[in-house]
Amino acid sequence: MLKNLFDAALGALLFWTLGYGFINDGGNGFIGLLPTNNRTAPYFATASLMRADADPSTPLATALEWANVFFQFTFAAAAATIVSGAVAERTQLPAYVCFASCITGLVYPVVAHWVWASSGWISATSPNAVLGGVIDFAGSGVVHMTGGVAALCGAIIVGPRTHRFDEDGRVLPLPGHSAVLQVLGTFILWLGWYGFNAGSTLGIGEAQARLAARVVLTTTLSAATGGITAVTLERFRGVRKAWDVVSMCNGILSGLVSITAGTATVMPWAAIIGGSIGAVIYRLASRLLIRFQVDDPLDAFAVHGACGMWGVLLSALLTTPHYEDAYAGLPARAGLFYGGGHLIGATACFIAAHIAWVGSISVILFASLRKLGLLRLTDAMLAAAATASGFHETMDDSTHAGLPAGVALRMGLASRTGVEPMAAAVDHAVDHAVDHAVRHAVDAQAQGTGYRVQDHAVDAQAQELPPVKAIQHRSTAAEGGAPTTDETEDRRRD
């Protein structure tokens, strides 16, 4: 949670100081940076806007740039936040703050300048754009693919969590700590997406209102289709063969990411196709990373990186001629399926350049942090976090599968210190807690006290478990030795 707060707080300062200038300051097609002898009112630190406010003759369009500063900042912060999910639970906070500062102040602004500034080399609003420029209405590539590519680089370099794969490379189950919070977060993101997509009309008027109304519809259709496709595939083709809420949530997000680039330029039926294919791409990308033992806890690359790339391709394939002119008021250009060829070529150039820029900066930064020993949490830090002192106050207190964070940390430490039967030990502890709760619930109901099983189960699980050595001893007994103290007590009660 602290990382997300840093995204907003530190990102706001850096974007105001540097990022907004790198997007809009003119200069050249690569970055917004005018030569010093040609700068009269730079965009850095909103100097040009402050000067414009001091001039009574300033046109309204210039004054409205104040709103654009905040709007662009939210995009930059979103790109940085995507990375946090991919490197969660094993990355030092200073390392993440360092990278979030880089992506907010430099990496994202450069990509945004390419695509949205009037002087960008691949911008559809530039008369000198390569092949007429790329269509990315609200940021499938600029925002989501930027965060997704950076997230992939970070997840590879920082390495997997210690308790994610076993010695043979098999995946160890590590479910999220709260499906309720995940569903709530999905609904919040879905609602917020209307601000991103419809808000990208950048104005309020008859034309913008009509465009925003169509954007809202295509956004909704793609999200709905993505969610239904992902959960259906999990039910009939997945490993668990179940109606999985995680698949539904990530499917909705993959549909939202997939439509963001072409939301203003494709037909509603095309949004349905885009969301459905986006859900398939998300699932394939997620499985591919697991196959190569890349630990991405939140599927940040699969949802944002892979589907972001698909989103810009979707706009290049299915943009209709009579809708494309709504994008920056430019002459109509058709997608590939409507007979146009320049748009797909420009999109391919953008994707290649984007991966080269974001990937190279991310690799250099993450590799440098690892070389300096500032990237990954050490065993000493994890050991301190598993106690009541040390780093515990600075660590995430989330739970996994109903277990307190300390249990998950002990599992990770055990896997690195040679304690083999940790899984059996934790299973025993959980079984004991549940059995303890059920027995008390039965007794309470017999006495007519209206005892609540759920509350007691949570309390029972919240009790501190024995240290690693004690768990190892109990596990050894459970594997065939003498019965443990708890087991003997259970038998007596039974």
Q: Which of helix, strand or coil describes residue 123?
A: strand
Q: Does the pLDDT at position 404 exceed 80?
A: no
Dihedral through CA 92, CA 98, CA 103, CA 106, nearest 10?
-170
- pLDDT band at residue 204, thresholds of 50, 70 and 90? confident
Structural element, H or E, at residue 61: helix 60-63
Q: Which of 460, 458, 393, 463 is nearest to 178 (CA)?
A: 458
For residues 18-50, one letter each, b for 16 or more C-beta atoms within 10 angstroms of the residue's C-beta and e for the rest, the string is bbbbbbbbbbebebbbbeeeebeebbbebebbe
CA distance 264 to 217: 10
Q: Which domains are present in the chain?
A: 2-371 (1.10.3430.10), 402-493 (no CATH)
Neighbours of 450 (CB within 10 A): 7
pLDDT band at 361; cut points 50, 70, 90: very high
Q: Are 215 and 222 in contact (CB under 8 A)?
A: no
In tens, the pLDDT along 138-149 reads: 999 999 999 999
From the list 198, 185, 225, the residue with the least C-alpha distance to 81 is 185
Is residue 455 packed enough to be buried (19+ CB in 10 Å), middle (13-18) or exposed (0-12)?
exposed
Quick: pLDDT tens for 52-93: 777 777 666 666 788 889 999 999 999 999 999 899 888 998
Q: Is the pLDDT of residue 348 over 90?
A: yes
Q: Which residue blocks in 330-467 are alpha helix, DSSP H?
A: 342-371, 379-385, 405-417, 422-446, 453-462
Q: What is the model's pLDDT at position 468?
A: 39
Residues 6 or more apart in contact with residue 482 via CB below 8 angstroms? none
Contacts 24+ apart (CB under 8 A), 350-355: 350/114, 350/115, 350/122, 350/134, 350/136, 350/141, 350/312, 351/141, 351/145, 351/309, 351/312, 351/313, 353/114, 353/122, 354/111, 354/141, 354/145, 354/146, 354/149, 355/149
Work out the number of other CB atoms within 10 angstroms of the CB of residue 188. 10
pLDDT for 371 beyond 60: yes
Q: For residue 330, which amino acid is it?
A: L
Tokens 């294919």 correspond to: 277
Q: What does the alpha-carbon distance between residue 399 and residue 43 come to, in Å, rounded to a whole number? A: 45
Q: What angle do CA 297, 168, 173 make, to 5 degrees?
A: 35
One-letter amino acid of 63: A
Judge whether 83 and 99 are in contact, CB under 8 Å: yes
Give me the chain's average pLDDT, please.
Answer: 79
Per DSSP, 299 falls in state -
> Cα separation of 177 and 401, whole Å?
6
Which two three-digit tokens encode residue 77? 């912060």
Burial class (CB within 10 angstroms; exposed 0-12, middle 13-18, buried 19+) of 349: middle
* Tens-digit pLDDT profile for residues 441-483: 545 555 554 434 344 434 434 444 444 343 333 434 444 444 4
Chain centre distance of CA 262: 20
Q: What percent of the chain has pLDDT over 70?
A: 72
CA dihedral 203, 205, 208, 209 (to 10 degrees): 120
- Spatial separation of the C-alpha atoms in residues 254 and 274, rounded to whole Å: 10
Whose tokens are 């990186």? That residue is 305
What is the rounded distance in angstroms from the CA atom of residue 350 to the CA atom of residue 311? 13
